[in-house]
Amino acid sequence: MYKKIGVLLVNLGTPDSPKVSDVRRYLNQFLTDGRVIDALPWAARQLLVRGIITPFRAGNSAKSYKEIWEDKGSPLKFISEELSVLVQQSLDEIPHRASEQTKEYHVELAMRYQSPSIESSLLKLRAKGVNHYLIIPLFPQYASASTGSAHQRVMEVVSQWQVIPPIQFINSYHNNPQYINTFAEIGRKHQPEQYEHVLFSFHGLPQRQMQKADDCNHCLKRKDCCERLSEKNQFCYGAQCNDTARLLAEALDIPKDKYTVCYQSRLGRDPWMQPYTSEVLEELAHKGIKKILAFSPAFVADCLETIFEISVEYQEEFEEMGGEKVQLVESLNTHPLWVETLKDMILAHT
């Protein structure tokens, strides 16, 4: 049978422009997702987001987006678009022997929020006659609010089709050796040994979301519950983040006492995953640390959280505290090793 495989790469999303109206539209869609703000029923969530959060945040967020916007648009979007093209080209170059079952790959990019939507990209694949689907969220570590939301949306869309096709979902790849090696390769260019301390700063989550995802009564029962990956916490976002950091540190020969795993991008007053990156920076500054190298391994494409939050906001905070430099390690973006990693991941699952 001739096999047409549709590969859907899913990233989080971005406003269509840095205009306040477009940022407001993006925030409304993002923050009304029941997996993102999960503590309220639908009606209360709509009221909170559309009536309170977005009106106050849209203006400031628009200013931040203007700081990173390029002629090509939002970095997260155009980097992801370029990546999808490169992955398609890499798959097209695979030689086939006559004795092998013929496979044809079609790669599409989708954004969980805004455009291109998951629905429109799935319909593009269906129009090409795809008969097998592989969904790869561009989030290495699993979280309900990111990977879980993307997978749920795919299922919602496909559930309306008369023919439900074979679909494979990739849950996470936080410890994929090629993913680790690519980040390490990029990190080596910055010579980590020249810095006094290294941060592995991941996007944070509310603690309640961590506990809701725990089926083994393990989460937050002790301070070190996330430090080692185990059968009980194998789907825990924090445990996967710690595992990624450990593997990266080993690949780069960074000793345990020279790096810290921390979490950024808090929203609201509820307790989030700790330690917070801003508090770690303050603690290091008080110890006299001047130069910090910062990885952000939860992001495979540079975006607001890396380009602006780390390189601008944390840099300014650190200088005010007496530090000198917070150097961002750029993300995987379109690095050839990352393209190869995705190609090999696709082949391994198909």
Out of 39-43, 229-233, 332-336, pick the least confident: 229-233
What pLDDT shows up at residue 95? 81
pLDDT tens by residue, 89-103: 999 998 876 545 678
Q: Which residues contact 274 (CB under 8 A, 6 or more apart)?
A: 263
**pLDDT on residue 99:** 47
CA–CA distance, 230 with 244 (Å, rounded to integer): 14
- The answer to whether the CB of 316 falls within 8 A of the CB of 322 is no
User: What are the distances in angstroms from CA 303 to CA 75, 141, 203, 238?
Assistant: 6, 17, 12, 21
Return the pLDDT at 104: 94
Please tell me the predicted confidence (pLDDT) of residue 82.
98
Region 290-303 average pLDDT? 98
Which is more confident, 147 or 1? 147
Least confident of 110-119, 155-164, 221-230, 271-280: 221-230
Domain boundaries, the chain: 3-173+336-349, 177-328
pLDDT tens by residue, 19-40 = 999 999 999 999 999 999 999 9
pLDDT score recorded for residue 97: 61
Confidence of residue 5 (pLDDT cuts 50, 70, 90): very high
How far, in Å, CA of 329 to CA of 288, rounded? 22
Cα 325 to Cα 312: distance, rounded to the nearest angstrom: 11
Q: How many CA atoms lie within 13 A of 108 on its CB side?
A: 24
Is residue 325 within 8 Å of residue 115, measured between CB atoms?
Answer: no
Residue 73, pLDDT > 90, answer yes
Residue appearing with tokens 């780069």: 252
The CA distance from 97 to 102, in Å, is 9
pLDDT at residue number 291: 98
Concatenated DSSP letters of 6-50: EEEEEEEE--SSSSHHHHHHHHHHHHT-TTTS-SS-HHHHHHHII
Q: Tell me, yes or no, if the two domains 3-173+336-349 and 177-328 fold the same way.
A: yes
Provide the whole-model pTM.
0.95
- Determine the topology of domain 3-173+336-349 in CATH: Rossmann fold (3.40.50)
Strand partners of residue 113: 13
CATH code linked to domain 177-328: 3.40.50.1400
The DSSP call for residue 192 is G
CB distance 98 to 132 below 8 Å: no
User: 3-class SS at 294?
Assistant: strand
pLDDT of 138 reads 98
